[in-house]
A and B are shown apart, each in its own frame.
Chain A
């Protein structure tokens, strides 16, 4: 086996062990159990490489993203064009993945369907990271009342089951793409805030920060030049995981028919639609299921590798 495929061989390293042990449990587990190991962790850059498997995963995400962005330029029939081919046909040269129950091209629907998932997930996590992340850095470094209040607020938000909140909003108002982005961005605020805050707390009193303070650097400079670079890797790896979680959330909503309205294709609603024809033509629903699985796998895997590489305790849920 090539080195990179053995992703977990590195776990023998006791540092990673601690990272892992306290990463999965979510914010609360971390608070209670990891105080002791927090300081003991040191990073060893350069020792572990990301490996080819990581780059394959990243490449796959990139391919999917590019296909979604340039979907209009690809030689594909309109995803909503019914009767583009015979209904429920198998793969052919004209329709590489076959057609669905209305004769729509499955590959085209699959690629255009990626757009909803990717736009919602990347946009909402970007907003969530920007706002939650900066709040987290400031709260973590400044401390005091600001920190206490922001932290308490995050706890209250986290106390509500997220999908339930989405369903509640979907029940009482119609979903649109911007609205979905706003909802998921709001939901991602609290977790991203807590991760950034935790990472900031861990480095706030390290020597290099004290050195900067001693040499007369201002607060803003310390936050952006000293702390930001050292918390960024763990925040990014967590954000990648957030993207996967948002994709699952949007997919669940779409599966229930409560995301963007039909006939706009999205992987979730394609799976739900194809379900009716499971006995006749399972591929209609299996193809988007496989696509979803592969994308999530790539996201989870690369997020995990990044977290591992940068010795981040906060990388996992």
Chain B
């Protein structure tokens, strides 16, 4: 249903442009002959609803049109770019969890301790560091000044995994900063709430150690809102990924989108937006299912 609404929106984008969309598709310097051909192909002289059906049928078959710039099918280009985003998002989330979970456990175990305060204050800082703000100082500190990591460049992971990881670390950290803060704050408060519940008191009274109570009893019921937040977060991650890819020159969907906007490659822009929007909806859908799997209380409700 939502995918359907999105597809209408993305379809209408081309028609927001003044004039014949065929000009937009073919770019500047289109010959009248080519315009006539595209007009016929897409049925631009037919009613809007027919055009939409034609476009949707093709999109469902994986045909998102052809870029006038590269003269390659948009779907092929997206196929090359999508893994970059996937890797970027997954790496950044791994980093975020690797930092946020231990931080939250430490902080929740001893509330109002010095570490708790330091973590909580720094989470405010991280919350205030969007990709385009933290990215530049990061590049300056570890790429320009000390040359630990390259500032730009991309090698596919399947050809040289080590080089790839080396190049992806800085972009992933940039993207991860905001997530760390969100997950830390969520998990910390949820853990503290869980630790006050009766089944934890019971576990303690059975003589379990603090460590056992924390990892075997408290952690799992405290992770639900983090999971939901992760799914919702994917939306802003996609936005952040656009900035990060632009900043580090990674050939992902974001760079494709921004370059497409600059060069007025509207078919490409349309394809990228449709793909990302559908991916976002799918992730949320999967998270809903996962939620039911992890939390039996929701399953039986």
Set of chain A residues within 8 Å of B236, measured between Cβ atoms: 161-163
B residues 200-246 near A (Cβ < 8 Å) are: 224-226, 228-229, 231-232, 234-236, 238-240, 242-243, 246
The reply on B5 being an interface residue by CB < 8 A is: yes
Q: How far is the CB of A248 from chain B (nearest CB, A)?
A: 4
How far does the alpha carbon of A25 sit from the alpha carbon of B225 in the complex, in Å? 5
Binds B, one of A71-79, A220-228, A250-258: A250-258
How far does the alpha carbon of A210 sit from the alpha carbon of B158 in the complex, in Å? 66
Contact B140–A278 (Cβ < 8 Å): yes
Q: How far is the CB of B270 from chain A (nearest CB, A)?
A: 8
How far does the alpha carbon of A161 sit from the alpha carbon of B190 in the complex, in Å? 26
Contact A6–B225 (Cβ < 8 Å): no
- Selected contact of A7 from candidates B10, B121, B242, B276, CB within 8 Å: B121
The reply on A33 being an interface residue by CB < 8 A is: yes
- Selected contact of A293 from candidates B5, B133, B240, CB within 8 Å: B133
How far does the alpha carbon of A255 sit from the alpha carbon of B247 in the complex, in Å? 9
**When A251-B130, A271-B132, A278-B144 are in contact, do A24 and B121 touch as well, CB less than 8 Å?**
no
- Selected contact of B228 from candidates A17, A20, A29, A256, CB within 8 Å: A29
The reply on B111 being an interface residue by CB < 8 A is: yes
Interface flags for A253-287 (1: CB within 8 Å of B; 0: not) read 00111100000000010011011001100100110
The reply on B94 being an interface residue by CB < 8 A is: no
A contact residues, total (Cβ < 8 Å) = 63
Interface flags for B110-127 (1: CB within 8 Å of A; 0: not) read 011000110011001101
The reply on A93 being an interface residue by CB < 8 A is: no
Contact A168–B13 (Cβ < 8 Å): yes
Contact B269–A29 (Cβ < 8 Å): no
How far does the alpha carbon of A24 sit from the alpha carbon of B261 in the complex, in Å? 34
- Selected contact of B232 from candidates A11, A18, A26, A168, CB within 8 Å: A26
- Selected contact of A171 from candidates B136, B193, B243, B269, CB within 8 Å: B269
**When A29-B224, A160-B6 are in contact, do A297 and B273 touch as well, CB less than 8 Å?**
no
The reply on B298 being an interface residue by CB < 8 A is: yes
Q: How far is the CB of B190 from chain A (nearest CB, A)?
A: 5
Contact B257–A167 (Cβ < 8 Å): yes
- Selected contact of B112 from candidates A11, A156, A161, A279, CB within 8 Å: A11
Contact B280–A161 (Cβ < 8 Å): yes
The reply on B284 being an interface residue by CB < 8 A is: yes
- Selected contact of A9 from candidates B112, B139, B269, CB within 8 Å: B112
Smallest Cβ-Cβ distance to B116: which chain A residue: A8
Contact A24–B189 (Cβ < 8 Å): yes
B residues adjacent to A (C-beta < 8 A): 2, 5-6, 9-10, 13-14, 16-17, 111-112, 116-117, 120-121, 124-125, 127-133, 136-137, 139-140, 144, 182, 185-186, 189-190, 192-193, 196, 224-226, 228-229, 231-232, 234-236, 238-240, 242-243, 246-247, 257-258, 260-262, 266, 269, 273, 276-277, 280-281, 284, 291, 298
Q: Which 6 residue pairs of A and B lie closest in terms of their CB atoms, listed nearest first?
A: A163-B239, A296-B128, A20-B189, A25-B225, A161-B235, A255-B132
Apart from A32-B298, A257-B262: 11 A-B pairs, beta carbons within 8 A: A6-B117, A8-B116, A17-B189, A26-B228, A159-B2, A161-B234, A161-B235, A255-B246, A278-B144, A297-B124, A299-B128
